[in-house]
Each structure stands twice: as structure tokens, then as C-alpha cells.
Amino acid sequence: MKFDSLKNEIPLPIRLFLGKALLFFIVWEIIYGVFLLDSNAINTFLTNHVGVSSTIVLNYLSPMSGFTAKEEIYHETLAGEKLENKSSAIYHNNSRVLHIADACNGLELMVLYIGFIVCMPSKFWRKIKYIILGLILLDIVNILRCVGLIYLREYFHAYFQFAHHYLFKMIVYTATFLIWVYFSRKINLKNESVQIR
């Protein structure tokens, strides 16, 4: 009885959004877990792309030079099991300055971003436009994050850990949030009224 009364208090647009979000999450987890995890093709491509793009920015669009990106295999232990993963390592004059693991390639954030856009009520082509432009923007922000980390490691090493764990994550999530806010400004919830008590 309590569940029905609680459900009726939640406005229909919010219930629809939450239902779509749950469905999107389940579908993504099935697709990723069944089809993509073993091949790891998306992660490998995206991780290498971020590494190579970061070196291009550093070598050609900054006063620094001598950077190269190499695909490497690293080992980690997760729940007592040894895992072998590919990563992109950035070297400066043959000295490794940054290690980009799959967890840092931006895939999870991109899926989260797409999920929000898909679940919000809007026209199909508007969603497609925001998904494409948003993914490009988030990719650029992630590449600039790696460039910033390398710059800090080279010149202001004392700030590297703080920037890596807090500052740059906050910047990436803020960029995502701002795109969502911009997208949500023109959403019209037809025939729905939300009462604030």
C-alpha cells in the first residue's frame, strides 16, 4: 500500500525518466558484459585514442615536445585474481610520465551522458545532435585533462595527485552537467504539472 501511494506522489515525467534510465542501464550492462568486455575493443580504441591525441596536443599545440604514446600491458589484482589489461602510456623523452588505463578513457562517463540524453523527453534528431556534439566535447575535455596532468607532472609535481584525484574529475563532471543543463532547458513536459510542496 505504501509503495502505491509513494508511486502516485512521484510525477509521471520523473517515473518515466527513472524507468527509461533503469532500462538503459540494464541493456548497457548486458551489451557490455556479453559482447564487449571479452573483446575489449572499445576500451582499447578509446584508451589509445586519448593517449595519441594527448601527445599530438602536447607536441604541436603547446610549447612542449618529445612526447610519444605507446600501448602497454599492465597487471593488476582484483579480488585476488590477477588481470592483464592494455593501457596507453605517454613518454616524454623515453621517460613515462602518464599511464592511461581503461578506467580513465572516458567510456563510462560517455555512456552516462548518452543515457541521460536518451531518457529525457525530446525530439529524436535533437537527441542525436546533442549525443554527437556532447561526446566530441567530453572527449576533448578528457584529452585536455590528460595534457593538464602531464603539464603538472612535468612542472608542478606537488599538485599532480590533487589534480588527478579531485580537480580534473570535478572539471570533467562539471562539463557533463553543464551540457545536460543546456540540453534540458528546451524540454517541454506536455500536460504535466509538478507541484512543489
- The structural domains of the chain, with segments of one domain joined by +, span 10-184
Q: Report d(CA 106, CA 183) in Å as an integer.
A: 20
Q: Within 13 Å and on the Cβ side, how many CA atoms surround 24?
A: 16
pLDDT digit string (tens) for 6-44? Answer: 566 777 777 777 788 888 888 888 877 776 666 578 888
pLDDT of residue 195: 38
CA angle 43, 64, 46 (to 5 degrees): 5
pLDDT of residue 189: 57
Q: Report d(CA 195, CA 185) in Å as an integer.
A: 19
Per-residue pLDDT of the chain (197 residues; tens, 9 = 90+): 465 665 667 777 777 777 888 888 888 888 777 766 665 788 889 999 999 999 999 999 998 899 999 998 876 666 677 767 778 999 998 899 998 988 888 888 999 899 999 888 889 999 999 999 999 999 999 999 999 999 999 889 899 999 999 999 999 999 999 998 988 887 765 544 433 34
Neighbours of 75 (CB within 10 A): 8
Cell 623523452 locates to 93
Q: Report d(CA 20, CA 110) in Å as an integer.
A: 17
3-state helix, strand, coil in the chain (%, to 5): 65, 15, 20
pLDDT of residue 4: 62
